[in-house]
Structure 1
Amino acid sequence: MPTVLRKSGFSFKINIHDHEPMHVHVWKQGRQVLINFEDTVSMRKNYGMNQNEIRQAINIVVENQEFLQVKWREIYG
């Protein structure tokens, strides 16, 4: 799963064998949250992050939504 963005201690990854909707796997210190970003940005599933970390990750996805969409299309065409 390639890392497409690193920011504020988070790693943002897009799995090359994944599925729609557009989403990113966000990792920090062994914890993960999945965030959808195709049209609107929203948390899909949480694996151990606290609310502050989730909020930070969502804000970073919002700030980089177009970039992440480009990366998704590079992987999936």
Structure 2
Amino acid sequence: MPTVLSEGGFEVVIYTTDRMPPHVHVWRGGCEVAIHLGDADTRPKVDGPHRLKRQELRAALELVARHQAYLLRVWEMYHG
């Protein structure tokens, strides 16, 4: 489970055994949220339950959106 991005107290991880659709796991303070990466026409969105505070969740989504193209490239590198 490589950490592919670390910023603002968040750790963004891609599990090499995960399946489609492309997504990342964002960790902060022991809490995790899965975020679908979307594509060039679709913004990232939350996938499933999480325990992040609303402000942390918004920041996590913004982080993933800012780095969406990079994260999609890394996902492709691991999952072909």
Q: Same fold (TM over 0.5)?
A: yes
TM-score w.r.t. the length of structure 2 is 0.91
Within a 5 Å distance, the mapping from 1:8-47 to structure 2 comes to 8-39=8-39, 40=42, 41-47=44-50
Unmatched 5+ stretches in structure 1: none
Alignment match, 1:48: 51
* 3-state SS, counterpart of residue 18 of structure 1: coil
Alignment match, 1:60: 63
What residue identity is the alignment partner of 1:10? F
| Runs of 4 or more above 2 Å deviation | none
Give the root-mean-square deviation of aligned CA atoms: 0.8
Provide the C-alpha distance between the structure 1 equivalents of 2:6 and 2:61, rounded to a whole number of angstroms.
13
Higher strand share: 1
C-alpha deviation, 1:62, in angstroms:
0.6
C-alpha deviation, 1:64, in angstroms:
0.2
Equivalent residue pairs, number: 77
Unmatched 5+ stretches in structure 2: none
The percent of aligned pairs where both chains have the same amino acid is: 36
Provide the C-alpha distance between the structure 2 equivalents of 1:34 and 1:27, rounded to a whole number of angstroms.
9
C-alpha deviation, 1:45, in angstroms:
2.0
